[in-house]
Structure 1
Amino acid sequence: MRNGPARRAALAAAAALSLLTVCAQAQAVRDTVAESLSQRLFPALDALGHDPAALRALRDRPEVAAMLRARSDRRAACAADLGCLAQAMIWSDGEAGILAAAVPGKGMDDGPAAQAGREIAGINTIVRTYGVGQVPAYPGIDGAGTIDPQEARARLQAAAWLAQTPRANSVQALDPSLDFALALLDAADRRDAIGDVPLSGGLNAPAFRRARGMDWSRYRYSALVVTGVGPEVEGMPLSPYSKYHLRLAAQRYAAGDAPFLILTGGHAHPRATPFAEAEEMRRALIERYGVPAETLVIEPHARHTTTNLRNAARLLVALGAPLDKATLILCNPDQSAMIESPDFVKRNNRELGYQPGAIGPRVSPTELEFRPSALSLRVDPRDPLDP
């Protein structure tokens, strides 16, 4: 029995405890990738890491302290079982409710408790998808893909260690699950949420400079919203559908009805493609159609039509466009009809929890008016690649 499974597990647990003791005594250092992901995905919880007094006050609340002790005991009982540890990182509904109700801050439009609830649900989504192996909502483009068991174990082990290794401005003193989730995303190289941020810089800088002092009343529409349709062929930068959308966009832009074109589409198809649809559409509009760069605004994160519109609304707010002014969605007739359908309303309610704006009226088979909603500003890490 000296070399049996129980003894090996005990030795592994002791070694892990020794490592974590050393780590706990180490200097907390900044990790710019983890910090950026934390701020982008979990703004309400991340703010606690920058306010030690608020973090201590939250942790010391009796109901929160009791709940956190129970979570700690659950993790400790897993010893060296990494699958058990990943499951123990997941927040139950009761635990999430206690923490969300206690988190201070302004939150989004629906208050700090609702925002904290979304963020805790986001942690659960990441742990389930990238740690436990649950199939994501869109398995063709999301998740870690197929990996061998040795790599899966390495990712879990590294996440477990990193969750306990001090990081400056983190909420590890509250609970390690947030940093565990960040480490799992990083291990899978799914840092999509912090690509091309801030959106007012980089390729968008010329358009944002032009937007300063813009007289929006001169135009019928505040922007033309051009949706991408991802290719299914490896190595293809633009799908045939997107090339059709670009011809529509160039024609409409030439009419002078809008000062900007918002090109929306991220790294969607096939999984983990190096091409962002928005960037490729921008390149084609400049090179093929001579559209000025200062009129083009890219939105390189959306992977679905729901988030095409939500993220376009966010960019319109950032540009300073009036939300009561219509935009014009340009896309192929099939996608345009889908956006106008009752099923799309249901899908928005199911996936976003609200409508990103008001659809209609229809201008042509390929053109729909769209008035964006400020509800689109809510951050929701339940989609950790595009919160």
Structure 2
Amino acid sequence: MRKTAYRAAAVLGAAALLSLASAPASAGAVRDLETEALSSRLFPLFDTLGKNAAALDHLKAKPEVATLLRARQDRRDACGSDLGCLAQAMVWTSAESAALARAADASAGAARADDGPAAQTKRELDGVNAIVRTFGLGQVPSYPQIDGAGTIDPQETRARLQAAAWLARTPRAASAQGLDPSIEFALALLDVSDRTDAAGFEPLAGGLNAAAMKRAKGLDWKRYRYSAMIVTGVGPEVEDMALSPFGKYHLRLAANRFAAGDIPFIIVTGGRAHPRATRFVEAEEMRKALIERYGVPAEAVVIEPYARHTTTNLRNATRLLTAMGAPLDKDTVIVCNPGQSAAIESPAFVQRNLAELGYEPGKIGRRVSPTELEFRPSVQSARVDPRDPLDP
């Protein structure tokens, strides 16, 4: 049935496609809870603007913004029924991104990152570009083995582009569509590609983390040597394998270290990354093993189910510590195998963080053992960066 529908769409004439693409939006604007969650995670600044009509109108009314938005609309209109052209027209040029960032910096209602709304605007527009190029135009992502859309046939590619184009024009309550459709187009591309990973566990303070979060709120952090133990992921490369061999080793190390009693929480970090499109979330599987195999109390285990790399293992763990109310001027301890531990301690890891994140998620401190490193988190880790749309 699905393939038949795609074939029918594929053989529509150019005139029919054009009329659909340019049809006026309907009056209704309903809530889409899944897209709302994804928008909030990926584009917090534009999501905030979408929920504040006065702030959005204020930004759009600025002459320089009105001019660039009109030019972008003209560029999209010139594409007619060419979906590839339309996707390319959604991309923000460097000049457009810089102009909107300057305007957003002075706009009322803009969400504020630690480095200001202009920097966050630039990151979010770079994120729109990354999504459109990867999931719309077929650009190879930085980590092609686990990221991106994978290999799909041209007919499916066209169906996804057409659906994203329609969705970008179909009203959604509290969206930033009124500013520019590229943001909604990017969200739709992830949706139609079934890559809404970034919103899969929201709100992260609930669900499997609820008991630990409740305990954290009344905790006397001064009683403990470290605020938490961070157990990094090592995703399996075998289909239908829940935990990798190294992952199982990490858990034995973590259970033994937790038994010392000087750490209140174990943060297990690892997303649905290895192998590509696996059904297992590494952090979930690690939590299950700690509780069922090693008897660690559920209220002592916190899952971080998004990270896809060692860099974001540490960044995302820091975000969780912030949500828990842990003091960021207190050390944590990273527990992992000797090879990964040595890599985290190396100068090359510093450079990798700077290249991929733009900052260090914290400072690596004293080596405690071949499998343990002290780590002091950084508030810079709170910066949302949708250039990695599966884990911003």
Structure 1 residue 8: deviation in Å? 4.9
Conserved? CA contact 2:26–2:170, under 8 Å: no
Structure 1 residue 10: deviation in Å? 4.3
Give yes or no for the alignment of 1:47 onto 2:44. Answer: no
2:293 is paired with a residue whose SS is: helix
C-alpha separation in 2, matches of 1:198 and 1:331: 27
C-alpha separation in 2, matches of 1:275 and 1:195: 12
Question: Aligned partner of 1:291: which letter?
Answer: V
Give yes or no for the alignment of 1:158 onto 2:159. Answer: no
2:368 is paired with a residue whose SS is: strand
CA displacement, residues 228-281 of structure 1 (integer Å, 9 cap, x when unaligned): 100000000000000000010011001112011000000010011111111100
Question: Aligned partner of 2:335: which letter?
Answer: L
1:92 corresponds to: 93
Question: Aligned partner of 2:67: which letter?
Answer: A
Conserved? CA contact 1:107–1:116, under 8 Å: no
Give the counterpart of 1:275 among 280, 295, 319.
280
CA displacement, residues 298-357 of structure 1 (integer Å, 9 cap, x when unaligned): 000001000000011111111111111111100000000000000000000011111100
1:140 is paired with a residue whose SS is: coil
C-alpha separation in 1, matches of 2:191 and 2:295: 38
Conserved? CA contact 1:107–1:114, under 8 Å: no
> Which 4+ stretches in 1 moved above 4 angstroms?
none
1:4 corresponds to: none
Conserved? CA contact 2:273–2:308, under 8 Å: yes
TM-score w.r.t. structure 1 length?
0.96
1:82 corresponds to: 83
Structure 1 residue 100: deviation in Å? 1.2
Distance verdict in 2 for CA 1:284–1:11, change over 3 Å:
closer
Conserved? CA contact 1:249–1:330, under 8 Å: yes
Instruction: Could you tell me which runs of 5 or more consecutive residues in structure 1 were left unpaired when the two chains were aligned.
Output: 1-6
1:383 corresponds to: 388
Conserved? CA contact 1:126–1:184, under 8 Å: yes
Conserved? CA contact 1:338–1:344, under 8 Å: yes
C-alpha separation in 2, matches of 1:204 and 1:11: 49
C-alpha separation in 2, matches of 1:168 and 1:106: 19
Pairing of 1:277-356 with structure 2 (within 5 A): 277-356=282-361
Greater mean deviation of Cα atoms: 372-381 or 50-59:
50-59
Distance verdict in 2 for CA 1:11–1:217, change over 3 Å:
closer
Give the counterpart of 2:373 among 368, 371, 374.
368
C-alpha separation in 1, matches of 2:253 and 2:299: 19
Instruction: Could you tell me which runs of 5 or more consecutive residues in structure 2 were left unpaired when the two chains were aligned.
Output: 1-11
1:163 is paired with a residue whose SS is: helix
Question: Aligned partner of 1:205: which letter?
Answer: A
C-alpha separation in 2, matches of 1:25 and 1:360: 57
Q: CA RMSD in A?
A: 1.2
2:60 is paired with a residue whose SS is: helix
Give yes or no for the alignment of 1:171 onto 2:172. Answer: no
C-alpha separation in 2, matches of 1:15 and 1:313: 46
Give yes or no for the alignment of 1:127 onto 2:132. Answer: yes
C-alpha separation in 1, matches of 2:372 and 2:30: 51
Give the counterpart of 2:187 among 162, 182, 189.
182
2:366 is paired with a residue whose SS is: strand
C-alpha separation in 2, matches of 1:274 and 1:25: 37
Question: Aligned partner of 1:39: which letter?
Answer: S
Question: Aligned partner of 1:62: which letter?
Answer: P
Structure 1 residue 55: deviation in Å? 1.0
1:289 is paired with a residue whose SS is: coil
1:371 is paired with a residue whose SS is: strand
